[in-house]
Structure 1
Amino acid sequence: MPQPAVATESRSALSLVMGPGLYRRALVSLFFAGLGMSVALPQLSLFLVQDLHASLPVAGLFFLTNLAAPVLGFVVGRWSDRLTDRLTLFRVGAVVGLLGWVVMALSTQVWMAFVVNLTVLGFAAATGSLVFAAVRDQLTHVPTGADNRVMSTVRLGFSLGFMSGPLVGSVLGGLVGLRLTLVAAGLCTLVQVVPLVRQRVPRAVPEQARGSSRGRGGSSAGLAPLLTFLGLGVLAMCGDTIRLAYLPIYMELQLGTPDWLRGAVISTQSLAMVVFIPLAGVLADRYGAQRVVVVCVLLGVGANLGFAVADSELVLVAATVLHAIMWAALGGIGITVAQDLYPQGIGMASSLYFSALRFAAGIGGVVGAVGVGWFGVPGVFTIPAALCVVTAAGLVAMALAARRRRARASRTAVS
């Protein structure tokens, strides 16, 4: 049932989220979701090579299965927008996710792992995004005036889990082997249901969407702004794959960075995001989420140019902090921008947004592989810098077009 109204003027977003009710349960659920994902991800390539005897090029192709994520995101989103309570589908997806990781752990052929990630785990990942749709439903039922702050604080749960997973996965891999580590990832995927097992949040259609939608899933034509935003977001976000793939190589081969410092530079982004995600929510509630995203994407240009010209680890740390600010905006409040662009289909917006994150990882692998052949390392980082410029310009163009449409609608209403 919806929670009683909350006066956010006298309470911080953190106290609102940490109070009893949906928001705290969603934060805990997302912690386990992030933990399960990051326990497995760093170990998958090793699992493919050591246990399934895949070649290195084939192991690299594995993550191209993420390119199918938008298809599953569309299916799950449309399905959830026709349900009374989206969390029912979320629970089904968590069980499917457990089965998927168990099947992955039992795989004996490389093609089996590819198929599982493409279908079963892809479906589970898409349903995981419905937690954010349920949070938005609750914010619609009980307005707080702090939507971005609430959403970004809840999103922080996933980030904290995602930060913890690589260490847990490495320890488990050494103690019990890679196959049981994948099973552990599946258990975390299932455990994310526990905080929300009895939670019910009726599906809501925001007031501004009721006159322009069919009430169940919305209009396909209305998807254009959302898809444009997601496409532009993918251009900016794909640079993270390039950063993770080639920044360690640059530090090792050209800067001679010691192992401990190399790890510290890479992990700076995760630590910085814990600070910047809540801050992005505060700024978004004050200045507007789309404006904050545009500014932060422009900082992403500086980050990638910093990677390209850095001659010391200190410069790389500064560039990584800028990159973290961009990701705090895209990962923390980008979801609210997506939901605002398609209010008649909150489930669709949420699932497509998080499917775009997976899609961006696949695109980043392709762009990085081609770009490093053309420009080498660190020149390859000029490509994500240019893509961030395109993203920022596109977002500004979207905002101006929306403003013109509102002006025309106002003139029509007056006449």
Structure 2
Amino acid sequence: MSGQPPGARGGAGLDAGTGQPGQTALRLVWSTPLYLRSTVALFLSGLGFSAAAPQIASFLVGELHASLTVAGLYYLTNLTAPVAGYLVGARSDRTGSRLGLFRLCAVVGFAGWTAIALAPRLWVPFVVSAVVLGFAGAATSQLFAAIHDQATLRPRPANDGVVAIVRMALTAGWVVGPVAGSFLAAVAGSRVMLLATAVATLAQLVPLGALRDPGPAGPASASSRAHRPGVRVMLPLLAFTALYICVYAGESVKYAFLPIYMNDRLGFSPALSGAIIGIQPLVELVLMPIAVVVARRTGEVRLMVLAAGFGVSANLCFALTGTAAGLFAGQILMGGVWGVFATLGIIVAQRLLPQAVATASAIFLSSTALSSALGGLAGGLGAAWIGLPLVFLVPAGFGLAAVLGLAVMTRAR
């Protein structure tokens, strides 16, 4: 699979649409309103969602008096997200209304987070999360579908770099959000923090303003709106998404058990534990633009085989080293995993279903909910069976399955 978009193979330094010297990805983002405004919107999206994610269990226990077991079950409400994402994506591919559906999903997200923040009873967050927030999460996939449409209209060698920059903004929001959410919850309370999440979700609308969808991308786009892709056509995308779920499942295991392991078993100071946790997103942000450059030479899926191998090695470091240096090494390797997958995953997903890119984007991006549930279940059973730190062998096994599956996919394509 090539690392370049169709039509970008002519001259390495030429704009494929005009024959003029090509722009760098950064200049292209800066000069294209859709790219620039999507970058800001996705930073706000990441900021809002990541501020709430680590605090929601504390809110359920502290404000609504849930037990720890019931609070843990809240995360199962994410299992409806892939269904909501598919419905929104299919509608988007039929109508071509990417930004209209994005705006609707953002408003729905604002209403959902506001309802949770003001919830008088424990059942309210569960129902709202299961029924409403799945549609809110589909907003991100609509922006990536619109970016794909724009890139198809004006093929350039730098288009993959544009996706990397926009995706970095989402990751940057997830770096800042947990810190901001923890601070706001400590100062003003969990309900105020959740209201702030609602405001950040709605604020995604501001950068996009009245911007309209890119024009139709050609004859293929019109035919794809008339026919929903069948299951057989979607099989490569579904297989790739399943392998991505295997890779991502390790994240929920890591965030659940690595802090406990460092603090309770190894006796690390809070500063050392925080440094180990914090090194991963920094490495990820550095590697995201590099991944695009390397993928042009190796192919995206081949590079993902290597990245999934990094994930296996990282979990072996967590399980077997028992030292700060070993855990730092594991987190640096994890930064390599997500520097590749966070950047290239959406690109590969869209190319596996080019006639329905919004559906592909929604299925791929909403799969993180399934992987979190899978990782949480497998990690909980593994911790009860083999304990800490050997529980990290469980995600290492998932990662090995992903390595083998991606290698097969590389040969098949």
- Fold shared per TM-score above 0.5: yes
CA pair 153-396 structure 1, distance change in 2 beyond 3 A: same
Work out the CA distance in 2 between the residues paired with 1:76 and 1:26. 18
AA aligned opposite 1:285:
R
**Structure 2 counterpart of 1:412:** none
The question of whether the paired residues in 2 share the 8 Å contact of 1:206 and 1:343 is answered with no
Work out the CA distance in 2 between the residues paired with 1:92 and 1:321. 38
**Structure 2 counterpart of 1:348:** 359
Q: Of 7, 11, 27, which residue of structure 1 is paired with 2:23?
A: 11
- Whether 1:387 and 2:393 are equivalent positions in the alignment is no
Following superposition, the deviation at residue 14 of structure 1 comes to 1.9
Q: How does 1:247-396 map to 2 (within 5 A)?
A: 247-396=258-407
The question of whether the paired residues in 2 share the 8 Å contact of 1:81 and 1:345 is answered with yes
Work out the CA distance in 2 between the residues paired with 1:210 and 1:225. 20
Work out the CA distance in 2 between the residues paired with 1:287 and 1:400. 13
Q: Of 33, 46, 49, which residue of structure 2 is paired with 1:21?
A: 33
Structure 1: 4+ residue segments shifted above 6 A: none
The question of whether the paired residues in 1 share the 8 Å contact of 2:16 and 2:155 is answered with no
Following superposition, the deviation at residue 221 of structure 1 comes to 2.4
CA pair 390-130 structure 1, distance change in 2 beyond 3 A: same
**Unmatched segments (≥5 aa) in structure 1:** 403-415
CA pair 7-236 structure 1, distance change in 2 beyond 3 A: farther
Q: Of 186, 190, 199, which residue of structure 1 is paired with 2:198?
A: 186
AA aligned opposite 1:347:
A
Following superposition, the deviation at residue 383 of structure 1 comes to 1.1
Work out the CA distance in 2 between the residues paired with 1:158 and 1:350. 15
Following superposition, the deviation at residue 218 of structure 1 comes to 3.1
Secondary structure of the 1:238 match is: helix
Secondary structure of the 1:381 match is: helix
AA aligned opposite 2:211:
Q
Q: Of 145, 148, 164, which residue of structure 1 is paired with 2:176?
A: 164
- Whether 1:125 and 2:137 are equivalent positions in the alignment is yes
The question of whether the paired residues in 2 share the 8 Å contact of 1:147 and 1:285 is answered with no
The 10-residue stretch of structure 1 (217-226 or 323-332) with the greater mean CA deviation from structure 2: 217-226
The question of whether the paired residues in 1 share the 8 Å contact of 2:22 and 2:157 is answered with no
- Whether 1:66 and 2:85 are equivalent positions in the alignment is no
**Structure 1 counterpart of 2:210:** 198
The question of whether the paired residues in 1 share the 8 Å contact of 2:153 and 2:217 is answered with no
Q: Of 108, 117, 121, which residue of structure 2 is paired with 1:105?
A: 117
CA pair 314-221 structure 1, distance change in 2 beyond 3 A: same
For residues 378-412 of structure 1, the C-alpha deviation after alignment (integer angstroms, 9 at most, x for no partner) is 1011111111111111112123233xxxxxxxxxx
Following superposition, the deviation at residue 363 of structure 1 comes to 1.4
How many residues are treated as equivalent by the alignment?
A: 399
**Structure 2 counterpart of 1:400:** 411
The question of whether the paired residues in 1 share the 8 Å contact of 2:82 and 2:134 is answered with no
The question of whether the paired residues in 1 share the 8 Å contact of 2:321 and 2:327 is answered with yes
**Structure 1 counterpart of 2:257:** 246
CA pair 225-177 structure 1, distance change in 2 beyond 3 A: same
Sequence identity percentage:
41
Root-mean-square deviation (CA, aligned residues, Å) is 2.0
CA pair 95-219 structure 1, distance change in 2 beyond 3 A: same
Following superposition, the deviation at residue 18 of structure 1 comes to 2.5
Following superposition, the deviation at residue 314 of structure 1 comes to 1.4
For residues 139-175 of structure 1, the C-alpha deviation after alignment (integer angstroms, 9 at most, x for no partner) is 1011012332211111001111111111211221122
